[in-house]
Amino acid sequence: MARYQITHETDYHYAAAVPHSQQLLHLRPRPLAYQRLLRHELHITPPPSRETTAFDYFGNPSTLLEFTRPHLRLSVSAETRIEVMPRANCDFRASPPWEQVVRRCVYSGRPVTSPGLMEALAFRQESPFVRIKHMFSAFAADCFTPERPLLEAANALMRKINDEFVFDVEATQIATPLAQVLEEKRGVCQDFAHLMLSSLRSLGLPARYVSGYLLTEPPPGQERMVGADASHAWVALYCPENGWVEFDPTNAVLPGTQHITLAWGRDFSDVSPLRGIILGGGEHGMDVRVTVMPED
């Protein structure tokens, strides 16, 4: 078990006053069997004219803010204290052949009686940042060989991405096409998660995007730097026998107590930590700082 103090700070600076804006936040971690929220507070400047909390379509806690007074700056700081437990282990070799799972996910004209499968089918289609194309299924083909167990093949795909791609924060932006990421083999955690999702969905498998935080360790002998961490992203694949099994292609690890889950959806567009619509404002800039501190 691990406990963390997390601070996620976002500052917007506008060239001209913004008379009206709305912001949607996914900053409150969702309750799960393997993590327990102990405290969560939002500090917002200027104070919103209206604040509404709800659960989105995917069951993620969300907060809608509305600002009706002119402002040149918007600051949102989320402070979270959370407890994370180890995930359950499963035998990858005992999972069903991946082709069998694909066949179970194909529309047959019969009612879907499994609630788990019904939920999973929403994550089998294309979404704004995840494309279904032959180039992505071809990329994963050497991992998904005939009759290979599903989770063993997915684990091989995770390691393939980690081996062949370079983490480079300057290489991409959120709108960079996945075809470019695949060709240049450079990107960040969002790119690698989207690439793995595109590969899995192009094969006909349900998989979803998971956003959250990752504890990063400083070099030996150095103290942790406040604000040095960042939001993280990884993938969850649906296996009928095991439920949702998570993979982190950026680090080639199975998420555990160092991964803190915020939300999940089809891709980044569903679970962006903070996004909004503004009236006016002209040119603007954004600064984000994330600090994940273990309590011990």
Q: What is the CATH number of the domain that holds 148?
A: 3.10.620.30
pTM of the model as a whole: 0.93
Burial class, 191, CB count within 10 angstroms (exposed 0-12 / middle 13-18 / buried 19+) = buried
Q: Are 259 and 120 in the same domain?
A: yes
Q: Residue 226 has what pLDDT?
A: 54
Do residues 59 and 25 touch, judged by C-beta distance below 8 A? no
Whether residue 110 sits in one domain with residue 253: yes
Same domain (yes/no): 178, 117: yes
Divide the 296 residues of the chain into consecutive groups of 10 and give the mean pLDDT of each group.
94 93 96 96 96 95 96 96 92 95 84 83 94 97 97 97 93 90 94 97 98 83 64 95 94 93 96 91 87 87
- Say whether both 226 and 177 belong to one domain: yes
Same domain, 277 and 175: no
pLDDT of residue 285: 87
Are both 177 and 230 inside the same structural domain? yes
CATH number at residue 22: 2.60.40.2250
Residue 232 and residue 182 in one domain: yes
Q: Are residues 201 and 125 in the same domain?
A: yes
What domain range is 167 assigned to?
A: 93-268
**Residue 258 shares a structural domain with residue 290:** no
Residues 239 and 285 in one domain: no
Per-residue pLDDT, 225: 55
Both structure tokens of 150: 């599903």
* Structural domain count of the chain: 2
Identify the pLDDT of residue 115.
82
- Vertex 115: Cα angle to 111 and 116 (nearest 5): 120
Tell me the β-bridge partners of 127: 130
Q: In what order do the strands lie in the sheet with 207-214?
A: 243-247, 231-239, 207-214, 259-265
One domain for residues 27 and 155: no
Degrees to nearest 5, angle at CA 72 with 226 and 41: 45
Q: 45 and 141, same structural domain? A: no
Rounded CA-CA distance 183/179 in Å is 6
Q: What are phi and psi of 148, to 5 degrees?
A: -75, 140
